[in-house]
Structure 1
């Protein structure tokens, strides 16, 4: 709820400045609690947010920990490493998925350029991932980081699914390099099918209307754009996608897995991040399985056709 660059801080939810005194903070909490309580006509979701905010900053110890923050750079990509892995990940000898490309890499780089320009007019800042700095940044800058983090979270989940899976990240979907707005976040090849995957964080709840995502911060038509990019890759590689998957933060969906049905002939599922492994192992309903020699052929075709942004 509070771990997205697009979400409000605990202080924003309580309606006080970050440097408010303890008594002012306590008074604001009580006022917000009364104003949002469902028994007095308040909003239940807002009431829960207020309670969670108080848990984070309601005691000197928790407030100090929250103010220090974990930052948003804990899992920055490592360009000198083969493939991709999270920073500081413990040694794990289990077989991993085959991984190509750097998830969220372009958006991380663009974020760093823009946040430094905004914060220091091109002069380096001490910590570009400091939570206080991130939350003050303009929305379009925070959105870059939120999307990068979303892509990295998906990458971690898919990497742990095992050697039967192959994934390509940050794939150019325009036929030309350097056009990130025409990229496909992930291509996942698995025994359950070949999928195009979009990882998003819109900063709040979303819903579906006529086969498309809608919500307060949803721009354009994400599902239609995902399918269009998948068609570009399918033509270039001579492959057929079995389905499309949109991955969102757990709090932003009314249920963990939403089966959208066929959109422009492609089965589509929208799922919470915690349900992604289940979806990929089980398969998208209506998607065609890929196995045996066909999986090897599809992997080879994609390897020859894929380029990265």
Structure 2
């Protein structure tokens, strides 16, 4: 699996700057180990993240190896070449628009520019952070991205998440249509509108780089900024699109990376215009095919009519 740019660096997990001494690093680890240990009232997820961080920088040898991979944070001039995930090369750069197709099966209809708005925002933020006038040879170089502030990495992670959702829908075949980066008026944008035989879905694709839980009807986690309310934000965005298109959604979905959501699939809200669910990305195809009840399929009798209405009324950001 491709690493997430939103995931915290070991230094961020330990709550210290990258240039801290080994003794200070060790003291920070010991303090956090006491605070996060489950037997002492801490969180199992936080304790697990702490141990993973310590494995990467806990010894002088491991820390030196990590810092060499991480590289300096002074400019955009970095050693070229993609990173690797499990030995397989990966890149956070945008997918090629004219990439060759594999297989002859008809694919879903795709409208809009998935991930486009967030990629533009990421590039603007990255140029501002690096410094105007400083060469930015490869804004997607892993070493550069890892040194950027978390809020910038989160924007890139969301763009990648949106592109991954479109890739899943595309593989479902010609019976599905997806619109991405849909204008939601004052509420910003709705990541995706997905139409298929099983319903009409408002979809948010996000990656906060941390484990997530549902609490009081909202999605929370260490990587979710305090000002973000994913469930409420999606509800407001879906409502704005519904008013503009005069088409009601069957369900609302928040799609997150598999490793970040232990329940795999969980309902977080139900309203008279459909329910809201959080799910792992690997379940998305099944949910879009059979509905979130995974067997209680709701069908749209006239997909063609709904598609035509959406095609005429949807606007993009």
Alpha-carbon contact 1:258-1:271 (below 8 Å) kept: yes
Contact 1:77–1:105 (Cα < 8 Å) also in 2: no
**Consecutive unaligned residues in structure 2, runs of 5 or more:** 71-78, 85-89
Residue 312 (structure 2) aligns with: 304
1:248 aligns with 2:251: no
Report matched runs for 1:180-195 at 5 Å. 182-195=188-201
Aligned to 2:74: none
Question: 1:7: which partner in 2?
Answer: 7
Which residue is equivalent to 1:203?
209
Counterpart CA distance in 1 for 2:260 and 2:206 is 10
Per-residue CA deviation, residues 98-141 of structure 1 (Å, 9 max, x unaligned), is: 11111110110111122012113243312111223222223332
Q: What is residue 107 of structure 1 aligned with on the other side?
A: 118
Aligned partners of 2:13, 2:229: CA distance in 1, in Å?
A: 29
TM-aligned CA distance change 1:46 to 1:162, over 3 Å: same
1:279 equivalent to 2:287? Answer yes
Alignment: residue pair count? 291
What is the Cα-based RMSD across aligned positions, in Å? 3.8
CA distance in 1, matches of 2:298, 2:231: 20
2:76 maps to none
Question: Aligned equivalents of 2:158 and 2:127: distance in 1?
Answer: 18
Cross-structure match for 1:289: 299
Query: Please, which runs of 5 or more residues in structure 1 have no aligned partner?
Result: none
SS in 2 for 1:168: strand
Q: CA deviation at 1:97?
A: 1.0
SS across alignment from 1:297: helix
TM-score for both structures, normalised by structure 1? 0.77
CA distance, structure 2, for counterparts of residue 54 and residue 205 of structure 1: 18
**1:94 alignment counterpart:** 105
Q: Matched residue of 2:252: which SS?
A: strand
Paired with 1:45 and 1:229, the residues of 2 have a C-alpha distance of: 31
Distance 1:188 1:122, change over 3 A: farther
Contact 2:93 2:140 in 1 (8 A): no
